[in-house]
Amino acid sequence: MEQVTAPPIRALIVEDNRDICGNIAEYLERHHYVLDFAYDGMSAVQLALTNPYDVIVLDLMLPKMDGLSVCHKLRTDAALETPILMLTARDTLDDKLKGFSVGADDYLSKPFELQELHARLQALYKRSHRKAANLLTVGDLTMNRSTLQVHRAGRRIDITPAGMKVLQRLMEAAPSVVARDELETLLWADEPPDGDGLRSHMYKLRQIIDRPFDSPLIHTVHRIGYRIAEEPE
């Protein structure tokens, strides 16, 4: 039986001490990591915004832009969700709380053991992948299947329970068509209401998913059903 090899973990290491960078590289590359390095805050922001990293290791004290500012910019200005492990020689509760307040996911105090750094990065990587598995995305529309939170273009959208069922099914099937009878069964089992109740639900869903935004995502496939996609076929 052919052995399946796990994909490498892509990590950005932001640290101005090149000796520390060398030690991290020597250890993590033996554990199937692909690494990029930034030695100041400005370079870190540029690399983080132009490359798909799985995790980021971010030192607190950096030239040009400190780690707190880098983290805040990535989280607030760019809405980047990549897990961030912050490194610091400052081991006070206040410093850690500041890091968490700007979006850091974990903290590691210097000096640290490379085995612990590796273990923490593995935990962040696994946690983020579990979260991604629960996230449905179509264009700028997202649904978290665990929390049932829906956002479009960063804006929170409140949906009725029935609308949530329909939207989730459409997003799971996207960009394929979901037949009318499948959606009716989803809503009412074997007892659909008189009239075209599904059309009423779809109208309400369009009012909150499509109408406030520039481009529609929900499309009618005449006499067949509905689909959700960035562009109609």
105-134 pLDDT per residue, tens? 999 999 999 999 999 999 999 888 776 667
pLDDT in tens, 157-209: 999 999 999 999 999 899 999 999 999 999 998 777 777 889 999 999 999 99
173: Cα separation from own chain's centroid: 20
34 pLDDT band, cuts 50/70/90, is very high
Domains of the chain (ranges; CATH) run 9-133 (3.40.50.2300), 136-228 (1.10.10.10)
Does an H or E element contain 135, and which? strand 135-138
Q: Residues 206, 211, 214, CA angle at the centre, nearest 5°? A: 125
H-type alpha helices, the chain? 18-28, 41-50, 67-72, 93-101, 114-133, 161-173, 180-188, 197-209
- What are residue 149's DSSP bridge partners? 144
Strand order in the sheet with 178-179: 178-179, 225-228, 218-221
